[in-house]
């Protein structure tokens, strides 16, 4: 099963988050970096609570919405997901990162995030990055994206201009805003690159769900059994590094 990395771009209010929620319907197992409390799921605000939930639900369906106040906790979460996926391989896991430029702006990228984008495919880790424009993101994300979903946009980098026909670029500012409960249409609400790509089909296939999958109902946080670290199965963060050198 091939993994999938999607990048959703568009100006404020164009429909990026609404589109991402529709992707989650096709995602049996997901971790969401939910800085602004925009997604449903088992919401946690502390790193230990996130580990408890993941350890208890690692082999089943889940949707974890992480609302950490410190970026350090997000970095440790990414590290934990990589290490656990390596040591305890299971079904595909999706990671949705809102405001991805917090971790990977044009001037630098968190090492663990760079590793995630470059090598996460080996452990069936699928990623959705969301930002306002490609000029806000590090080249590592751009270079490792399988499909771009472009909503209404005012500014484009020179690299992205090379991907789209002039007629498509001229159409971008007039794209309709995607509203809740509306089925998104390519060419009406968004464009894609490659032009023939179907992001819903790519995402559903990578996550082991049908394109018309029923909504995922994740286990509630207060009903999940607690088991933060299971000996030999769920490594504690900091006990290894993504590149395996132990440093």
Could you tell me if residue 230 is inside a domain? Answer: no
Hey, which bits of 139-222 come out as E strands? 147-150, 191-193
Mean of pLDDT values over 189-215: 82
Could you tell me the CATH number of the domain that includes residue 44?
A: 3.40.50.300
pLDDT value at residue 9: 95
In a domain, 99, yes or no: yes
Q: Predicted confidence band at 169 (pLDDT cuts at 50, 70, 90)?
A: confident
Minimum mean pLDDT range among 115-119, 186-190, 204-208, 210-214: 210-214
The answer as to whether 135 is a domain residue is yes
| Residue 49 domain-assigned (yes or no) | yes
The reported pLDDT for the residue numbered 88 is: 87
Dihedral of CA atoms 65, 69, 71, 74 in degrees, nearest 10, equals -20
User: Residue 4 above 60 pLDDT?
Assistant: yes
- Does residue 235 lie in a domain region? no
Number of domains in the chain: 1
In a domain, 238, yes or no: no
Per residue in 78-107, pLDDT (tens digit) is 999 999 999 888 889 999 999 999 999 999
Q: What is the pTM of this model?
A: 0.84
- Residue 245 or residue 165, greater confidence: 165
Instruction: Provide mean pLDDT across the span 181-191.
Output: 92
- Provide the 10 A C-beta neighbour count for residue 205: 17
Contact 130, 136 (CB under 8 A): no
Whether 34 is in a domain gets the answer yes
148: containing domain = 5-223
| Range 228-241 average pLDDT | 36
- For 168-184, b/e burial (b = at least 16 CB within 10 A) is ebeebeebeebeeeeeb
pLDDT at 225 over 80: no
Residue 228 lies in a domain: no
What is the structure's pLDDT at 180? 86
Beta bridge mates, 105: 108
């Amino acid at each position: 099963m091939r993994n999938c990395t999607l990048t959703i771009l568009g100006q404020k209010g164009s429909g990026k988050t609404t589109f991402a929620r529709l992707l989650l319907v096709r995602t049996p197992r997901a971790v969401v970096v939910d800085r602004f409390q925009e997604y449903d799921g088992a919401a946690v605000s502390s790193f230990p609570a996130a580990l408890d939930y993941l350890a208890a639900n690692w082999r089943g369906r889940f949707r974890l919405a992480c609302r950490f106040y410190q970026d350090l906790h997000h970095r440790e979460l990414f590290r934990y997901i990589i290490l656990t996926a390596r040591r305890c391989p299971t079904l595909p896991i999706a990671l949705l990162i809102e405001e991805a430029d917090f971790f990977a702006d044009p001037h630098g990228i968190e090492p663990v995030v760079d590793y995630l984008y470059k090598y996460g495919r080996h452990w069936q880790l699928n990623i959705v990055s969301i930002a306002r424009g490609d000029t806000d993101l590090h080249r590592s994300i751009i270079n490792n994206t399988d499909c771009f979903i472009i909503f209404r946009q005012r500014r484009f980098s020179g690299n992205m201009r090379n991907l789209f026909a002039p007629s498509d670029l001229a159409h971008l500012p007039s794209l309709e805003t995607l509203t809740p409960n509306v089925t998104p249409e390519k060419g009406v609400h968004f464009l894609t690159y490659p032009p023939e790509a179907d992001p819903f089909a790519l995402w559903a296939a990578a996550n082991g769900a049908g394109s018309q999958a029923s909504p995922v109902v994740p286990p509630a946080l207060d009903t999940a059994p607690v088991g933060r670290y299971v000996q030999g199965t769920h490594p504690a963060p900091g006990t290894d590094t993504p590149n395996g050198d132990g440093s």
